């Protein structure tokens, strides 16, 4: 009887040990209050301008064990912010992003390598109706339930 019980304990222990190696990707909704795609541009070589988009939505599927995942993001072009209203209005105009005709920028990933809290995401970026393949650098990723 003792031998049968020990075999069951070993079998259950092995099952738990092996099953912990199998990862399941979790799907997360992008938190728009904490997600700000940003950019930096040289202004004629004299200064550097920083900006961001304040309204972002989308989803992230992420397997924390393998570091693999997928990203689907939509950015509201009108939410562009550089700290200078006149420049922001100009960036929304047909001279740049043409926010009235093209109100969204989208990114859909093909491959995401996000292990260790940072990484790269390859996918298709669409700006003003033009789609290009790009690789984006992700500087920080933390997934979990909102408190």
Q: pLDDT tens across 9-49, in order?
A: 444 443 443 334 445 678 888 888 888 888 898 988 999 99
In this prediction, residue 15 carries a pLDDT of 40
Q: Of the candidates 67, 69, 73, 76, which has an alpha carbon nearest to the alpha carbon of residue 31?
A: 73
Residue segments in the chain with a per-residue pLDDT below the cut of 70: 1-24, 116-117, 140-147
Give the helix/strand (H/E) hosting 39.
Answer: strand 38-43
Q: Which CATH superfamily is domain 23-138 in?
A: Lipid/polyisoprenoid-binding, YceI-like (2.40.128.110)
Q: Would the pTM of this model clear 0.75, i.e. be above it?
A: no
């Amino acid at each position: 009887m003792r031998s049968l019980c020990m075999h069951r304990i070993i079998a259950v222990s092995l099952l738990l040990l092996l099953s912990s190696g199998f990862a399941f990707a979790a799907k997360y909704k992008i938190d728009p209050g904490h997600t700000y795609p940003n950019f930096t541009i040289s202004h004629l070589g004299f200064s550097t301008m920083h900006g961001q988009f304040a309204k972002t939505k989308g989803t992230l599927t992420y397997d924390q064990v393998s570091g693999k995942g997928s990203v689907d993001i939509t950015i509201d072009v009108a939410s562009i912010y550089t700290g200078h209203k006149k420049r922001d209005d100009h960036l929304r105009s047909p001279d740049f992003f043409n926010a009235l005709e093209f109100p969204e920028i989208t990114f859909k990933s093909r491959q995401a390598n996000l292990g260790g809290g940072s990484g790269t995401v390859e996918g298709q970026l669409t700006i003003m109706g033009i789609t290009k393949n790009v690789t984006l650098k992700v500087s920080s990723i933390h997934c979990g339930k909102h408190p």
